[in-house]
Amino acid sequence: MSNPPSHDEPTAPGNFSEIFARLTDVPLDHVDKLLDTTESAYADLNRVMEHPYWADLVFHQGAALRALREARAELDAFRAEAVGARNTELGITVATGVIGEEREYAERDERKRELVEKLLRPPRQGRACQLYVWDRPYENEEEPGPYSGIRVVTSADDEMGVLNYTEEDEEGQLSSWQTRNSDPDPQAPVLRFDLGSPLAFPADSVLGFAELRAALDEFVDTGACPRSVHWQQARWGR
């Protein structure tokens, strides 16, 4: 006869993804409402500035606002971690494309392919786009995020472009590679690190759209440095 489970031993959850999914339901809208309501009190406080309680009221209102903003930031971080944990359990990755000032996110394969096409043909030719693959949307670059990404610079008219892959190690050191063309096209367009930048990618880093598309499709599927193209250490000047 087997021994009954000890009351000191927690029972393992049956489905982690369901638990993490519930944890993503963070009441940020309630906190936002509290913030709006607390901030709106300033208008009423300004009407009683001569009252002896005014200073104490302003002090406590300011403290409440700071606490609510800190709470919102922590709840938002909690939500993001729960989303990442849920997606990891389900084997889901999220591609984040930064195109100009806009961010676009893709989870499903079809949507990822559409995002790749947008990166190859951005609204402004020559403007660098970024692509990241993570366990969640990469919404805020000021927060720790994915430790690798690809810069995409193209000339849609020529259907050619460059990929610049960057990776950060545990010590925070960055390594950077760019695509390598073993048979560079002498008519390849000049592609700069970004619009207005004096840095231009070497001609032997410029590839055609077919190769770029294959590499980006591979990246959104695996999140690892694409093996379908060749790479060289990043260098500048044509």
- Closest Cα partner for 188 from 231, 150, 148, 153? 153
User: pLDDT tens, 189-210?
Assistant: 999 998 888 899 999 999 999 9
Q: Is residue 70 part of a domain?
A: yes
pTM for this entry: 0.80
Domain match, 78 and 118 both:
no
How many domains does the chain contain in total?
2
The residue count of the chain comes to 238
> What whole-number distance in Å separates Cα of residue 192 and Cα of residue 178?
12
Residues with pLDDT less than 70, the chain: 1-14, 236-238
Domain match, 51 and 144 both:
no
Domain match, 190 and 138 both:
yes
Domain match, 136 and 216 both:
yes
Q: Is residue 67 part of a domain?
A: yes
Domain end point (choices 36, 61, 90): 90
- Closest Cα partner for 190 from 227, 155, 233, 150? 155
pLDDT at position 2:
41
Range of the domain at 193: 94-233
pLDDT at position 122:
94
The token pair at 28 is: 């940020």
